[in-house]
Amino acid sequence: SRFETCWPALMKDSHGVIIIFNPELPSHLKEIEMWYSCFVQQQPLLDSQCLLVAHHKPGSAGDMENLSLAYPLNKLKLIHSNLEEDPEDVRMEFIKYFRSIITIINESREREEMSIIS
């Protein structure tokens, strides 16, 4: 991708990665493996710091239940977004995700402070 030179700047000091993809495009399913590898594994971030969002376009007959992702993507939190039907569900999942990121940041900050003290 022509933006690859920008990636190190995007990744620097990042605490979380949200990958949004169209589950109906086979090319997207291959690409998210690459995004995960570059932005999560090489960082390195914990899997809990990554959120996958399968976004279903209005009127798409996407099968939300049977999207099976291969390892290692199947270890990640996956939510389905369909903003026509359940925007509130998506909002709640985002809030849960952000809370978990804040918890991780606070815990690592406390560990750093303790290591400075000891």
Q: What is the pLDDT of residue 85?
A: 76
Q: What is the pLDDT of residue 8?
A: 83
pTM over 0.85: no
**Please, what is the Cα angle at 113 between 110 and 118, to 5 degrees?**
120
CA gyration radius, the chain: 16
* Neighbour-count burial for 66-85, b at 16+ CB within 10 Å, e otherwise: eeebeeebeebebbbbbeee
Domain chopping of the chain, boundaries: 7-117
Residues of the chain with pLDDT under 50: none
Per DSSP bridges, beta strands 50-55 and 77-81 are: parallel
Q: What is the pLDDT of residue 47?
A: 94
